[in-house]
């Protein structure tokens, strides 16, 4: 056992997340702690909620953080919305769709899954047809599934859900801030995210927003915690939420005016989440999305020029991560090790049906930058060469430079 201080090695994290956190976020976490109900603390929580309303492009009062990783946010929404026996529709186009199914099942839902091939997405028509057939209470749909790099179009789904009186939840962990997600305009009822992708922070806090419809559903299951009021009873008539930690009715009362004690806020992660949102609000959400689109395009053109093929339906790729077929005869894991050992660059492996077939390379959050894209393409060229593939020298970075030059011509910016 080493009891030395931990000094992490230098790494450029160009996988599907986590990525290098913005140094401003790391610094924010070293601010001193304050008490849970200190006026400065509740003001900080209120500010953070307001900042996330801008990140989610919503007026939802119920916008808050779940203290846990992005998966904690997913489970909080699903276990709070789903009563045992409720029908849930999960259109799944990758591993994180399967995760929604799994969590919804554990919450007691009667889960109906429709599947798209990995590398494809759903049409609104196919989702509406499934809604007509299943008549679910809840539609649970990933926006960006890093396992396939696909981004499900959501713009038309909210209206379909409203027409059929279905609650609409999306897991935007991997996509938020890298791809458009105007929550109110697209009529979503619940969205959860994490900090470790396009938000440029560490994993461990799950920004979450809930519409009034979602809040009404959750409030109908409100339950007063024993010890706080001396009584144990369901106040709203709905069945008791199966989790205490993820009971959004209680968490709403903790973040809301009632300020009822629930968990002890993970203050350092709150500081991190606040700074992540501040960075995005300073930049502007459309600008952040455009930045991810630009660097994602540069990366894709670079890997194509190196002779590699991107995976999946490119019309629906997330801006912030690209799947790349591993060339025939190349040991994908060996090349990843070389990239890590020789260049300190991490790119991603893959899960399930894509395991051993594609790498996943991300350009997100703090790492959606020109220098990270250029460096990754340069190192990739060298490691491919070493692995026996013969890309044209300078082709990858050349193609990326063209994307940047083209952008500069069009916008007059560098």
What residues between 96 and 125 interact with a copy of itself by CB under 8 A?
A: 96, 98-99, 101-103, 105-108
Least distance from a copy of itself to the Cβ atom of residue 275, Å? 7
Taking the C-alpha atoms of residue 295 and residue 149, their distance in angstroms, rounded to an integer, is: 15
Among the listed residues 83, 128, 171, 346, the single contact to a copy of itself using CB under 8 A: 346
Q: Quick check: helix, strand or coil at residue 340?
A: helix
Compute the least distance from the CB of residue 251 to a copy of itself, in Å: 11
Asked if residues 167 and 189 have their Cβ atoms less than 8 Å apart, the reply is: yes
Cα 346 to chain centroid distance, Å, stands at 19
Residues 316 and 327: their CA atoms lie apart, in Å, by 23
Helical (H) or strand (E) element with 41: helix 39-55
Residue 240: exposure state from Cβ atoms within 10 A (0-12, 13-18, ≥19): middle
Q: Which two tokens stand for residue 100?
A: 């929604």
Q: Does 357 bind a copy of itself (CB under 8 A)?
A: no
Closer residue to a copy of itself, CB minimum distance, 26 or 389: 26
Q: Which stretch binds a copy of itself (CB under 8 A): 18-26, 154-162, 295-303, 383-391?
A: 18-26
Q: Does 5 bind a copy of itself (CB under 8 A)?
A: yes
Nearer to a copy of itself, 281 or 389 (CB): 281
Token pair for residue 395? Answer: 């082709």
Q: Give the x/- contact pattern for a copy of itself in 76-95, rule: CB under 8 A.
A: ---x--------------xx
Binding track over 27-66 against a copy of itself, x by CB under 8 A: xxxxxxxxxx-x-xx-xx--x--xx---------------
Q: Is the distance from CB of 253 to CB of 218 less than 8 angstroms?
A: no
Q: State the Cα–Cα distance between residues 77 and 86, nearest whole angstrom.
A: 14
**Ranges within 184-223 binding a copy of itself (CB under 8 A):** 194, 196, 202-204
Q: Is 257 in the site for a copy of itself (CB under 8 A)?
A: no
Using the contact rule CB under 8 A, the part of the chain among 228-236, 312-320, 373-381, 405-413 near a copy of itself is: 228-236
What whole-number distance in Å separates Cα of residue 236 and Cα of residue 263? Answer: 22
Q: Is 232 in the site for a copy of itself (CB under 8 A)?
A: yes
CA 345/CA 338 separation, integer angstroms? 9
| Nearest CA-CA partner of 191 in 200, 179, 17 | 179
Which member of 263, 304, 357, 370 binds a copy of itself (CB under 8 A)? 263
Measured from the CB atom, the residue of 126 and 337 that comes closer to a copy of itself is 337
Q: Is 360 annotated as a binding residue?
A: yes
We find the least distance from the C-beta atom of residue 263 to a copy of itself, in angstroms, to be 4
Question: Residue 244 has what DSSP assignment?
Answer: S
Annotated binding-site positions = 360
């Amino acid at each position: 056992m080493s009891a030395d201080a931990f000094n992490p090695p230098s790494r450029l994290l160009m996988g599907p997340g986590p990525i290098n956190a913005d140094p401003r976020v790391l610094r924010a976490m070293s601010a001193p702690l304050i008490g849970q109900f200190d006026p400065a603390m509740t003001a900080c929580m209120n500010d953070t909620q307001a900042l996330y309303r801008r990140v989610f492009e919503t007026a939802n009062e119920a916008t808050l953080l779940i203290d846990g990783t992005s998966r904690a946010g997913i489970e909080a929404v699903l276990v709070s919305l789903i009563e045992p026996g409720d029908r849930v529709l999960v259109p799944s186009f990758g591993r994180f769709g399967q995760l929604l199914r799994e969590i919804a099942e554990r919450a007691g839902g009667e889960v109906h899954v429709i599947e798209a091939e990995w590398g494809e997405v759903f049409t609104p028509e196919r989702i509406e047809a499934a809604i007509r057939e299943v008549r679910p209470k809840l539609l649970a749909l990933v926006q960006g599934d890093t396992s396939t790099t696909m981004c499900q179009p959501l713009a038309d789904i909210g209206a379909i859900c409203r027409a059929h009186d279905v609650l609409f939840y999306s897991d935007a962990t991997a996509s938020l801030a890298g791809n458009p997600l105007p929550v109110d305009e697209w009529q979503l009822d619940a969205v959860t995210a994490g900090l470790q992708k396009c938000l440029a922070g560490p994993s461990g806090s799950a920004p979450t927003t809930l519409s009034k419809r979602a809040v009404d559903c959750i409030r109908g299951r409100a339950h007063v915690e024993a010890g706080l009021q001396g009584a144990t009873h369901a106040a709203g008539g709905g069945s008791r939420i199966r989790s205490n930690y993820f009971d959004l009715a209680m968490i709403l009362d903790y973040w809301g005016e009632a300020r009822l004690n629930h968990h002890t806020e993970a203050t350092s992660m709150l500081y991190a989440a606040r700074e992540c949102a501040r960075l995005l609000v300073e930049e502007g959400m459309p600008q952040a999305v455009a930045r991810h689109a630009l660097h994602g395009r540069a990366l894709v053109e670079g890997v194509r020029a190196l002779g590699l093929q991107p995976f999946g339906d490119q019309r629906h790729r997330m801006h912030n991560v690209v799947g790349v077929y591993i060339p025939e005869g190349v040991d994908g894991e060996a090349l990843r090790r070389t990239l890590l050992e020789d260049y300190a660059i991490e790119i991603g492996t893959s899960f399930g049906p894509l395991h051993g077939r594609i790498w996943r390379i991300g350009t997100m959050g703090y790492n959606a930058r020109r220098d990270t894209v250029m460096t990754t393409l340069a190192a990739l060229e060298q490691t491919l060469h070493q692995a026996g593939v013969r890309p044209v020298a300078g082709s990858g970075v050349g193609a990326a430079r063209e994307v940047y030059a083209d952008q500069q011509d069009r916008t007059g910016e560098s």
